[in-house]
Amino acid sequence: MSLFPDRLDRFARHIVLPQVGGAGQVALARAHVALIGLGGIGSPALQYLAGAGIGRLTLIDDGQVELSNLQRQTIYATRDVGHGKAVSARRWLANFDSDLAVALNDRRIDAAGAGEAITGVDLVLDGTDNFATRLAVSDACVAAGIPLLSAAVGRFQGQVGAYAGHLPDHACYRCFVGDAFDAEDCDTCADDGMLGAMAGWVGTFAALQAVRVLLAGAGGLGDPQWGKLHLLDGLAPSMRTMAIGKDGACRGCRVNDG
């Protein structure tokens, strides 16, 4: 697969980077990413993934655009209020670059439906705002052998981690948070408030890490950083990184030797 001349021009600033190059750009064009949660994290992440020329995107969100979303959910405008987020996101994407293939899913993701929702993708980027969904997505990723970028933000604290729990030596998201939150629905955003640009920082950093994972096979940016959790502090501001080890007893990713 090669890139047509108009695509070469579109991605010229990528292609001149030694860490991307023509081969890397082709790898991005071949990639299929599922975005789960098209909110404060998913909106800017979608903009940078689409800008990066990710060839196929699956957009997953069961919510509707509300007026209070517009302060941080950058793909929506006033006219989208009251319309479905997945449909509105697809419209944004079609306006931005009609060469990108898009599928949408406006059903709520739960443990029963997560696997079907992510079938065939190369990477899942989860920016949803509750633990039950995030754990269901993590378990589905492990079962399907799909890497997961999990991103979250609350007030001025954000976190972005890359998980490859399907691999024997790497943690999954459940290794990190445990089982206690399966029944929780912690939508702290509505209660606690959120500075719009903070969500944007986390979403764009998640997009950077997604590109890092997708380019890892092509040399690219090197290490996909499995099991590394980056903590973003918007008040200091600062970033720090911690390592998440595989939990041998984790019911999401333990090896079944029976």
Identify the residue among 175, 206, 211, 215 touching Zn ion (CB under 5 A): 175
In angstroms, the Cα distances linking 155 to 38, 71, 201, 208 are 18, 14, 12, 21
**Candidates 16-24, 35-43, 171-179, 202-210; binding stretch for Zn ion (CB under 5 A):** 171-179
Binding track, positions 199-238, relative to Zn ion; x by CB under 5 A? ----------------------------------------
Return the number of the residue (160 or 175) whose C-beta is nearest Zn ion: 175
Cross-strand pairs, 105: 60
In angstroms, give the least distance from the CB of 45 to Zn ion.
24
37 sits near Zn ion (criterion: CB under 5 A): no
Return the number of the residue (200 or 252) whose C-beta is nearest Zn ion: 252
Task: Tell me the Ramachandran region of residue 10: left when phi exceeds 0, alpha when psi lies from -120 to 50, beta otherwise.
Answer: alpha
Catalytic residue among 172, 175, 189, 253: 189
Return the number of the residue (26 or 175) whose C-beta is nearest Zn ion: 175
174 sits near Zn ion (criterion: CB under 5 A): yes
164 sits near Zn ion (criterion: CB under 5 A): no
**Candidates 70-78, 105-113, 169-177, 221-229; binding stretch for Zn ion (CB under 5 A):** 169-177
149 sits near Zn ion (criterion: CB under 5 A): no
Q: Please write down the HEC assignment for all residues of the chain.
A: CCCCHHHHHHCHHHHCCCCCHHHHHHHHHHCEEEEECCCCCHHHHHHHHHHCCCCEEEEECCCECCHHHCCCCCCCCHHHCCCEHHHHHHHHHHHHCCCCEEEEECCCCCCCCHHHHCCCCCEEEECCCCHHHHHHHHHHHHHHCCCEEEEEEEECEEEEEEECCCCCCCCCHHHHHCCCCCCCCCCHHHHHCECHHHHHHHHHHHHHHHHHHHHHHHCCCCCCCECEEEEEECCCCEEEEEECCCCCCCCCCCCCCC
165 sits near Zn ion (criterion: CB under 5 A): yes
In angstroms, give the least distance from the CB of 250 to Zn ion.
3
**Candidates 5-13, 35-43, 126-134, 250-258; binding stretch for Zn ion (CB under 5 A):** 250-258
**Candidates 17-25, 88-96, 174-182, 236-244; binding stretch for Zn ion (CB under 5 A):** 174-182
Residue 189 annotated to the active site = yes
253 sits near Zn ion (criterion: CB under 5 A): yes
**Which residues form the catalytic set?**
189
Name the residues that contact Zn ion, by CB under 5 A. 165, 172, 174-175, 250, 252-253
